[in-house]
Amino acid sequence: MGNVLISRRFDFSSSHRYYRDEWSTEENTRVFGLCALPSGHGHNYTLEVAVSGAADSDTGMVINLVDLQAAVEVVLEQFDHKHLNLDTHYFTDCIPTAENLAAVLWGLIAEELVGAKLHRLRLYETDDLFVEYFGEIS
Ligand code: NI
């Protein structure tokens, strides 16, 4: 049995703001534009979680989808309907861009996925903008 990639899609909503305290408001606006506005703004994110491996000879599955769903949902609960800067502790030192959010989600989901190999996260911030993350480069 060869390697199979299986993906599942999840939706969540979060708000965020791009702003560096050590920069002036003018510099923040120059770099981040409207994303630097004080109250932030929200997105309906879509997260595709891809797991790779061989299908088990007994079950025919790379991963039990019930387990995958449970692992991802327990992570996304921390972010859904939250302000990423204010309601989570993951973005005190980094800007909650899609790039950084994908990296944070990778660490948390990989920890939950016991016995399965996380291959890729694809995080859509809008319909036409997404990032892909493949874990830390070793
Ligand atoms: Ni945004």
In eight-state DSSP terms, residue 13 is: E
The yes-or-no answer on residue 81 being catalytic is yes
pLDDT digits (tens, 9 = 90+) for 96-111: 999 999 999 999 999 9
The three-class DSSP label of residue 32 is helix
The yes-or-no answer on residue 94 being catalytic is no
The pLDDT value given to residue 94 = 95
Taking the CA of residue 112 as centre, how many other CA atoms within 13 Å lie in the half-sphere pointing to its CB? 19
The yes-or-no answer on residue 35 being catalytic is yes
Q: Among residues 77, 81, 94, 132, which one is catalytic?
A: 81
pTM attached to this predicted model: 0.95
Q: Where are the domains of the chain?
A: 3-133
C-alpha 98 to ligand 1 mean position (Å): 8
Question: Average pLDDT of 102-130?
Answer: 96
The type of residue at 128 is D
- pLDDT at residue 137 is higher than 80: no
Domain 3-133 coded CATH 3.30.479.10: yes
**Residue 70 has which token pair?**
């449970």
Measured in whole angstroms, how far is the alpha carbon of residue 90 from the centre of its chain? Answer: 12
Q: Outline where the chain has alpha helix (H).
A: 25-32, 65-76, 84-87, 98-112
Contacts of 34 (CB under 8 A, 6+ apart): 41
Strand order in the sheet with 41-53: 82-83, 4-16, 41-53, 117-126, 129-133
Mean pLDDT for all residues in the chain? 96
CB count within 10 Å of CB 3 equals 11
C-alpha 41 to ligand 1 mean position (Å): 6
Size (the chain), residues: 138
Q: Quick one: pLDDT band at residue 138, thresholds 50, 70, 90?
A: low
Question: Average pLDDT of 46-61?
Answer: 96
The pLDDT value given to residue 133 = 98
Residue 23 and residue 70 in contact, taking contact as beta carbons nearer than 8 Å = no
The type of residue at 93 is D
Question: Average pLDDT of 36-45?
Answer: 97
